[in-house]
Structure 1
Amino acid sequence: MLLFAVVVVLACVEKLAASANTVAVERDWAIVVADALAIPRQDLNASMRRIDLFCKLVAPVVISVIDGLSTRLAIWVVLGVNVLSVGGEYFAIAMVYTAVPQLERRWDTDDEAQDGRAIPRSFSLQRCIRNAAAPWREYISSPVFLASFALSLLYLTVLSFGSTMVTYLLHAGFTPLQVSGMRIGAVAAEISGTWAAPYIMGKIGPIRSGLWFLNWQFGCLAAAVAAFAFYDNQSQLVAVSLIVGVALSRIGLWGFDLSVQFLVQEGVNEHARARFSSTEMALQSIFELLSFATTIAFPLPGQFKYPVYISYGGIGMAAVCFAMYVRKERGHLLHMSKCFGVDKKRIPLQEGVLHAA
């Protein structure tokens, strides 16, 4: 038990370090590199996400094969790969940092320290609380808050090929090999989303693409949620509808993710970018914890429909939040004049209700 506790603590440290790495490289460095090398941001974001998803596709398959031979061997392989990758990753990061001089930016973030003024000890606790709350206030007041919050809501879900849904599928009668095949199909759909997102963003812009991708995700899962409502939770029909719906929805998920990421990169000042991304990731982790809490509250396989309903409700809330963001930015959700064939030029401005964006 002591060894297990040590492993858990180390895993928590690794998770924290990985999040910090993501904020630094994917959310901050990527923008600087794209601007320095005149690379479209949406293309660079998609390429990085594609590599990430490909690794998530290959790694479980390889480890599953090795684990079939020996669990102890699989553990040593994971250790060896991680140890060897540290040097390679550090070398790659150092090369990028050296090759792009714009990454070497420095600015003072503590004006009081810069002025050399001492902070009274009696106010140190108050100052700590104020500093802890400052990123959240800045996050909420950001013009892209609603878009980022919508993305964060999608982490309140069991509708993915994660551990919760895999456990449900195994209980429904699928074999581990079949589940692995399903995960491969889902990741393939996710990768296709990273190809589609830059193309669609280039055609209709990141705001409209985000709206359509999120609606795609919501629509793909409708049949699966309906199946849970009208049929036995543990039937093969319900499980198959869930598998198909989740796999197709991943296209919308990652297309929406890349659209929002582009909006955040464009809408957040570079001095606040790291704080904004860190706060966003903290919020995503909170919603992820809540998704685990739903399975604690409803632990039985026959109760899996309730976490499914909650997850689908989270996607619906995300759609509402992003629709509010679109309405705020563009002044409308749909071009009503185009949808209904109304000629807006014939409607006086003071009398009409349709306005051009």
Structure 2
Amino acid sequence: MSLVNGPELEAATAENLSERPGSPTSRLDFQEDGMTGSQALNLYTSHFLSTWNVRTYIIFTAAAYPDTLVASSIRGIVTTLASICFASIVGRWVDHAPHRLKTLSSTISVNRVSVIGASALWFFIVGAGSGPQESITTEATSWVPSSWKDAMFALILFLGILETLSASGNMLSMERDFIVTAADPDGRPYDLTHLNSVMRRIDLICKLIAPILISIIVSATNVRVGVLVVGVMSAASWGIELLCAKRVWDLNPRLRVLKTTDDRVETQAESFTESTCLQNFGIRVARSLRRYGQDFRNYFSSAVWIPSMALSLLHISALSYSATFITFLLNAGFSLALITIARAAGSVVEISSTVVTPVGVHYLSKAKNHGRLRGMIGARNDSEDIGATLLEQAPDQQAGTETGLERLGLWGVSWQLLNLVPVVFALWSLAPQDPITTSLPTLVSRILTPLASRPVLAFILFFSLSISRFGLWIFDLTTQQLTQTMNPPSQRSSFAGVEYSFVSFFELAQHIITIALHRPEQFKWIALVSLVAVAVSTVTYAGWVWKMRGHLVHWERIGKGCECVKFRVRHEG
């Protein structure tokens, strides 16, 4: 593999901006300079360290404020609102930053600084504790006065905003820029489907193991030791993560090509405006709002905004192993040990979806160039952006992969919906009866009465909920790749930033619904709302697939199959 020095490559790029991913030169790079196992290992290591630190950054609010939920609620609302307001801005910054390594390194560094700073503050304001028997909710003497404690918590809120936005920026830079640029064409060992699946597998494994490890450390020692461990791990992995990202960048010429944007004229106009108006604050605010609105207009003008919105809508569902759902299960009488086992089983199912997805996409991508809009998606974009999309590198193969993603995504979200139906019935059977339920028609009341014995009901609930996660993450992975490949490179991260804003909005809506229906006997209505949201998401995505492919089911193949069966029956008869 021939490597080009960074400065030389940047100079060449400045002279010839047409040498971008997707151009003939770039296609030759794909053939000669494909991703190697060493690059992939460094890429996975960098992503693992980022994800691990995000997952271990648990909030120690309960230890600092053990007698109230106000502090944790405030922090949740503040970080969610920050994501709603600023996620698209972070995505636009990732899109327009020319140097990929500097962008990724900046997100890593800001995240580490915010976590280390917050950990230092938590260390002084959480309860001191007395030993291994201390719980995270045990009240103990703080090392700072009450007034200082509240001031430090306010600073923690600010650092929490930085941590949330930098984590989003890191994910956008890695998923929508780094791996899309570095990935090999479809069919190669390190194509985009393979990289996405492995990266998501790493994320889900960290999601399962990291909180458990921190909880064990806190239980074996005390809360302050847990805070110290989080801060030290974040500091120790900082340099390693930057080094791994730089090694991938050094070894992959495509990553070292500076990104170009189409807003150079706008930038010159803005510089002139700033100089003549003495950097008028009002003009800057108006310009920021205009750009913010443009991000949303670009989002809704994309050919793939409907799958993105369908995926975002799923975050309004409370039918997952979240804190709200676990609290309801504990109030319903299920043991913490049973819930923990079921949650672990669900995590294993989630991880298995990352193994099945590449195989399923390959199998379902055999049907090529069929569908109403196949091959027409990029017609509305300029030729330069289209040349940079992965769909143009190998049209037949990429169109087949796109078809496989669409078909598997429909199977995934449909699987989730079907398996959540028995979950809702089980929850209605568990929930105490209220006046609204008792006033329902007799037939409906009979259906919603307890269905079976407690063990059978528990099995239906936990088994169906766990296997529904299989379809959810298949849908997540396929939709992610569709948004990666069907958006112009200059809008990938800003598109995902708007998607993150909608995800946070629907999560906030879920919290509001939970607050409004806070009594245990009302959780069945939350479950029903969640099922309706998943159904709307499924129908919406199915409509989009029908629009793209012209059909949902190959009825002619089903008809041929039935005729074949009839012929065999007659022949045997």
Common fold: TM-score over 0.5: yes
| Equivalent residue for 2:350, pick from 176, 186, 190 | 190
Whole-angstrom distance in 1 between the partners of 2:244 and 2:331: 43
Q: Which residue does 1:138 correspond to in 2?
A: 298
Q: Deviation of residue 7 (structure 1)?
A: 2.5
2:165 pairs with 1:12: no
Matched letter for residue 200 of structure 2: R
**Contact preservation (8 Å) 1:153, 1:284:** yes
Aligned to 1:45: 196
Residue number in structure 2 paired with 1:160 = 320
Q: Per-residue CA shift, 1:213-269, capped at 9, x if unaligned?
A: 111111111101122334535995655533222211111011111111111122111
Q: Which of 511, 516, 528 is 1:297 aligned to?
A: 516
Matches within 5 A, 1:88-237: 88-104=240-256, 105-108=258-261, 109-114=263-268, 117-118=272-273, 125-204=285-364, 205-232=404-431, 236=454
- The 10-residue stretch of structure 1 (303-312 or 187-196) with the greater mean CA deviation from structure 2: 303-312
Q: 236-245 vs 247-256, which deviates more? A: 236-245
Deviations 1:101-149 (A, max 9, x none): 2223232434222355426657655433321110111111101111111
Local SS of the residue matching 2:315: coil
Per-residue deviation, 1:313: 1.2
Any unmatched runs of 5+ in structure 1?
A: 344-357
Specify the alignment match of 1:306 in structure 2. Answer: 525
Contact residue 189 and residue 248 of structure 1 kept, 8 A:
yes
Contact 2:332 2:430 in 1 (8 A): no
1:304 aligns to what SS in structure 2?
Answer: helix
CA distance in 2, matches of 1:219, 1:111: 52
User: Partners in 2 of 1:81 and 1:241 — Cα distance?
Assistant: 40
Deviations 1:81-110 (A, max 9, x none): 222222222222222222222223232434
Q: Find out whether 1:65 has 2:216 as its counterpart.
A: yes
TM normalised by structure 2 equals: 0.56
Specify the code of the residue in structure 2 equivalent to 1:291.
Q
Seen in structure 2, the aligned counterparts of structure 1 residues 243 and 295 have a Cα distance that, compared at 3 Å, is same
- Write the letter of the residue equivalent to 1:81: M
Q: Residue type matched to 1:324 in 2?
A: G
CA contact (8 A) 2:431 2:520 kept: no
How far is 1:9 from its partner?
2.8
Is 329-338 or 207-216 further displaced after alignment?
329-338
Identity of aligned residues (%): 34
Cα offsets for 1:159-185 (capped at 9, x unmatched): 111211121222223343433322211
Distance 1:233 1:268, change over 3 A: farther
How far apart are residue 50 of structure 1 and its match?
Answer: 0.5
Q: Distance in 1 between matches of 2:317 and 2:330?
A: 19
Q: What is the deviation of 1:64?
A: 2.2
After the TM superposition, which of the residue ranges 105-114 and 78-87 deviates more from structure 2? 105-114
Query: Are residues 233 and 318 of structure 1, via their aligned partners in 2, closer, same or farther at CA, if it must alter by over 3 Å?
Result: farther
Cα pair 1:326 1:333 within 8 Å, conserved: yes
Q: Hey, what does 1:25 align to over in structure 2?
A: 174
Superposed CA deviations along residues 30-77 of structure 1, whole A, max 9, x for unmatched, are 111113895221111000000111111111221222222223322222
> For structure 1, which segment, 127-136 or 206-215, has the greater mean C-alpha deviation from structure 2 after superposition?
127-136
1:317-346 Cα offsets, whole Å, 9 max, x none, are 110111111011001111122234499xxx
Question: Is the 1:46–1:195 contact (alpha carbons within 8 Å) kept by the matching residues of 2?
Answer: yes
1:282-336, CA deviations, whole angstroms, 9 ceiling, x for partnerless residues?
A: 1111111111111111112221112211211111111011111101100111112
Alignment of 1:235-254 (within 5 A): 236=454, 240-254=459-473
2:76: which partner in 1? none
**Structure 2 gaps, min length 5:** 1-149, 365-403, 434-449, 563-573
- Kept in 2, the 8 Å contact 1:169–1:239? The answer is no
Match of 1:353 in 2: none
| Structure 2 CA distance for aligned equivalents of residues 239 and 306 of structure 1 | 19
The residue matched to 2:489 in structure 1 has which SS? coil
Contact 1:172-1:239 within 8 A present in 2 as well: no
Alignment partner, residue 50 of structure 2? none
Greater C-alpha Rg: 2
Matched residues in 1 for 2:560 and 2:488: separation? 40
